[in-house]
Every structure is written in structure tokens, then in C-alpha cells.
Amino acid sequence: MGRETNTGMESDKSGRRGFLKKSGALGAGLILANPFNIISNPLNTADEVKVALVGCGGRGGGVAFANIPKIPGCKLVAVCDIVESRREGFKARHKKRTGKSINAYEDFYQMLDKEQLDAVVLTTPDFWHMQHTVDALEAGIHVYCEKAMSNKLEDAYKMAAAMKKTGKLLQIGRQRRSNDRYRFMYHNLLKKEEMFGRLTHAIGQWNRSQIWTQRPNKKDKLDFKTLKKYGFDTEDQVYNWRNYKKLGGGVVSDLGSHQIDIFNWFFDAYPKAVYATGNNSYFGFEQADTMATILEYETPKGPAIGIYENISNSRAIGVYERFVGDNGAFIISEGKDNKIYRESRVKSSEWKHLIDKGYIDQYSKVAKYKSKESGDSGIKETAPQIAYDIKDIKDLDIIYNLPAHTAHLKNFIEAVRGVEKLNYDAEMAFKSEVCIYKIHDAINAGGDKIKITEDDYKVI
């Protein structure tokens, strides 16, 4: 089937040749080699999309060095950051990895003037999103902006309105919208197969042991005059901007917005009312570190309730979204917690067609080894409750087969090329931002019910 090439290990470590010779029989298995029958050039593409990255922090690193290299034709041409060591560090790292030079800027507008950009990717603190987005869109440049859209609802609105007005693309970085499994769950299992019946409850949580704060990086050598110019009052605000109300949106925006957006997506509805409570008693930052909310929905199939919590002092039971319908329930997450349960009144034969289609599988991946179809392996120990997993992701218009952050950015790049439509444009994202800010209002209102009207969700 293939030919082995020099692995590089033999020349590096000549003392090991004897062992390598012994292993010459290895023709199958996992080997280091180029297969002759596969043409490996996935990154060739006709239309190059020139992209600049704004914000050279942690998420920016993911975009520049993990996401963009996997997207055909997506070319990083410039980076922008107000901290010199960060932007120059990115520039050097990019040169080292790709052999190609990029330009580095402190000033966003200078970059827009000098570079011939198709798009910008914004991975800056929330409070900078609106101005950069609106100005880029009005300059004719498409924008991919990390969530949250902003730390102010009125600014999120301005972003969505600018997208509509300019006709340029604005995708918001809630990457689950481009996650193959989430898309498969929505399009195939929920919409096409309606396997869970009427969804009545969504329960979500993002629990973590603590809010890890960052200490100043000695290499950064911050210039306070520059920081002040860009809206930062203290050194701590540069590293921990999420904890400040004037710069970020706190845990509800950072974490909750991902998951409440999934509630909205899978329910095909947006909340009519929210109740919420929260406090900052655990860490004492400006933003709430602990919160819980109840959201009331009127879905196309009937009323539904969303329940969401965020805890920052215990990682107990982690991060997931759980949906309950009258025919079944499921847990979905970007981590390990993923399972589908059939309600006992639904006969197994009613879900058999989903197994036959290869959509779901039973028995923790070992169903194919069972003698009979279900439940009968003889008289022995008590078997566990039957649960199902998503099996083959198929029958979707697009299957990215990429990590979700990369898939979401790829969807944006393909939309810039005119090949795909955005999976999550700013108008959709704005509706979920409305929920988030109404939760903030509810927390501030001390537990009162906050109603949300249809007009609140509109972008004119």
C-alpha cells in the first residue's frame, strides 16, 4: 500500500539502528511515512483571503498558529496589538513557523490604511470590538469577531446594524455553531428525525475551580501612556480585563453566552423572560463569579424552560448542555460528556432506523460485537442502562471535520470567498447577546422577572 520514507530518527540516533532494523517488518500500524497513493496538498486553493489579526493574546495565538494554518488559502498578512512585545513576538513566531514575513502594527487604523485586507479577525478585549468592527465593515473589510460581541448591548446592536447596512460579513466566534456534532444534532437528530419529540427543558452549566487571573508578563514592558490611550487604567486591566465591567462582560458573557446560545438554537426560539441571581462574593471582582438563571421560552412545539448556572469555585460535573424531550434526552458538550438516552416508553424499535442509518450507536461502541441486537447476552451480571452515542456524522451540507474554532473561522473564510453562508452572523449573535444583557439586568434587579419583547431582538 505504501512506501516508508526516512523517518529522520535513524540519522538522528544512529545507535538505534539495530532496533529499527528489527522493526522492518512493520508495514501496517502507525508509521512515520508519506503514503504514495495520497496526494497531500490540502492547502492549495485558487482564491487567497488576506487576513489581519487584531489582538495577540491567548486566543489570538490559537487563531494565528492553530486555526489559520489549517484553512486553505487563508493568508495571515499582518498582526496588531498595543503591546509591542506581543505583536513582535507573533511576527517572529510566524516567520519561524512559516518562513514568511508579516507586518506588525500598534495602530489598527494605520494597518487598515497600509494593508490590502479582505478580512480582520478580532481577538481583543470586548470593549474594543464595536469600534473596530464598525470601522472595518465601513471600510469594506469583512470581520470575524470573537465573542462576546461587546460589553454593552447598544454596541452589540451597532455591530449587527453595521453588518446589515454595509452588506459585509460579520461572524461572531461562538464556535459550537460550526461544530460538526452540534450541527448534526440540530439538523439531523432534532429537526429531520425529531427523535426527542418536544424539547421541554435545557439545563446547562460551566463550572470551574476558580477564576485564574493572569500576572503581568515581565517580557511585555508595558508603556502606561500607550495603555491609557487605548482605554486601560491599570496594568491588571490589560491581563484580566474580563473582571472589569467597563472592559468585559464577566462569566455570563464569557461562558454563559456560548451555552445559552445553544439553548436558543436547539429550541428554535429566544427567551420571553429571564430570572437570575448572582454575586461576586467568592472572588470579589467587579463581575459576578457565581450566577444562576431561569429562561422562559415559547418554542414552536410549546413552552420550554432553560436553566443555567455558572460556578467559579468548583469544577463539579464540568461543562455541558443537557436537553430533555418527551421521547428522549441528551447531553452534549465540547468535552467528554456526550450521551443520548431513550425515554423508556419509546420502544427500541422506534429508534432502530437511526442505528441503521449510522446516526447513533448503542453500548459504548461495542454493539457490533454483540450476538443479538439488544439486551441479550445471557444471564450474567446486571448490564448498565442503555445509552446511545452519535456515530457517523453524515448527511449534512458541509462536514468540516476540524476542531470547532478552526471550522468556524473556515466557514467565515469560505463565506468571504462566496462559497458558504455564515453559520453565525451578527444578527443571530445579537439575539443571544440580548439574552445575556437581560440576565445582567435580572441579576442587578435582585431576582425580578425581566421580560424580553420581540422588538428587543430586532436589528433594523
Partner 1 sequence: MNSLEYFHDAMATNFSLKIAGIESSVSEHVAGLCFQRLDELEMKLSRFVPDSDVSRINRMKSGEEIMLEEEVYDCLRLAIEVSLLTNGYFDVGTAELSDIYRGYQNGILNEFEYSNAISTAMSEKAEGSLYLNPNVAMIHCVADGLKVDLGGIGKGYALDLLKEYCLENEFENFSFNAGGSTVLVCEETPTKFKLSAKNEQIDIRIAHASVSSSGTGQQGNHIFNPATGENEERIYDRVWVCSPQAGYSDAFATAFFSMQEREIQEVSQDVEEINWVAVSSDGTIKFIYKKEKELI
Restricting to residues 47-66, name those near partner 1 by CB under 8 A.
Answer: 65-66
Residue 16 makes contact with partner 1 by CB under 8 A: yes
Min CB(208)–partner 1 separation in Å:
9
Angle between helices 126-138 and 153-166 (to 10 degrees): 20
Q: How far is CA 148 from the centre of its chain?
A: 11
Other Cβ atoms within 10 Å of 121 Cβ, number: 29
Binding residue for partner 1, selected from 130, 169, 390, 426, defined by CB under 8 A:
390
For residue 383, is the peptide bond before it cis, meaning its omega torsion is within 30 degrees of 0? Answer: no
The answer to whether the beta carbons of residues 190 and 332 sit under 8 Å apart is no
Min CB(36)–partner 1 separation in Å:
10
The answer to whether the beta carbons of residues 393 and 184 sit under 8 Å apart is yes
Question: In terms of CB distance, is 156 or 402 closer to partner 1?
Answer: 402
Cα 54 to Cα 107: distance, rounded to the nearest angstrom: 10
Question: In terms of CB distance, is 130 or 404 closer to partner 1?
Answer: 404
Binding residue for partner 1, selected from 209, 281, 444, 453, defined by CB under 8 A:
209
Restricting to residues 282-341, name those near partner 1 by CB under 8 A.
Answer: 315, 334-336, 338
How many amino acids of this chain bind partner 1 (CB under 8 A)? Answer: 66
Restricting to residues 216-255, name those near partner 1 by CB under 8 A.
Answer: none
> Which span (12-20, 300-308, 430-438, 451-459) binds partner 1, by CB under 8 A?
12-20
> Which span (109-117, 129-137, 206-214, 429-437) binds partner 1, by CB under 8 A?
206-214
Residue 385 makes contact with partner 1 by CB under 8 A: no
Min CB(320)–partner 1 separation in Å:
12
Binding residue for partner 1, selected from 5, 226, 279, 314, defined by CB under 8 A:
5
Question: In terms of CB distance, is 210 or 279 closer to partner 1?
Answer: 210
Min CB(302)–partner 1 separation in Å:
30
Question: In terms of CB distance, is 168 or 242 closer to partner 1?
Answer: 242
Q: Report how far apart, in Å, the C-alpha atoms of 195 and of each of 224, 238, 376, 385 are.
A: 57, 47, 24, 19
Residue 207 makes contact with partner 1 by CB under 8 A: no
Min CB(83)–partner 1 separation in Å:
17
Q: Which residues contact 355 (CB under 8 A, 6 or more apart)?
A: 361, 362, 367, 391
Q: What is the dihedral of CA 369, 374, 380, 386, to 10 degrees?
A: 100
The answer to whether the beta carbons of residues 161 and 425 sit under 8 Å apart is no
Q: Which residues contact 1 (CB under 8 A, 6 or more apart)?
A: 27, 35, 37
Question: In terms of CB distance, is 289 or 334 closer to partner 1?
Answer: 334
Question: Which residue, among 234, 230, 236, 195, has the nearest Cα to 213 in the 3D structure?
Answer: 236
Cα 458 to Cα 460: distance, rounded to the nearest angstrom: 6
> What's the Rg (C-alpha) of the chain?
25
Residue 91 makes contact with partner 1 by CB under 8 A: no
Binding mask 341-380 for partner 1 (x = CB under 8 A): ----------------------xxxx--xxx-----xx-x
Restricting to residues 65-84, name those near partner 1 by CB under 8 A.
Answer: 65-66, 69-70
Dihedral sign for Cα 361, 365, 369, 375, please. negative
- Which strands form 360-362's sheet, in the order they lie side by side? 360-362, 388-390, 339-342, 328-332, 319-325, 199-207, 302-311, 290-299, 273-279, 450-451
Q: Which residues pair with 362 in a beta bridge?
A: 388
Residue 14 makes contact with partner 1 by CB under 8 A: no
Binding residue for partner 1, selected from 52, 156, 404, 450, defined by CB under 8 A:
404
Restricting to residues 155-174, name those near partner 1 by CB under 8 A.
Answer: none
Question: In terms of CB distance, is 70 or 198 closer to partner 1?
Answer: 70
Question: Which residue, among 121, 279, 122, 308, has the nearest Cα to 201 in the 3D structure?
Answer: 308
Question: In terms of CB distance, is 214 or 453 closer to partner 1?
Answer: 214
Q: Which residues pair with 105 in a beta bridge?
A: 80
> Which span (31-39, 76-84, 86-94, 266-274) binds partner 1, by CB under 8 A?
31-39
Min CB(211)–partner 1 separation in Å:
9
Residue 11 makes contact with partner 1 by CB under 8 A: no
Binding site for partner 1 (CB under 8 A): 1-2, 5-9, 13, 15-16, 18-20, 22-23, 26-35, 37-38, 40, 42, 65-66, 69-70, 179, 181, 209-210, 212-215, 315, 334-336, 338, 363-366, 369-371, 377-378, 380-384, 390, 392, 401-404
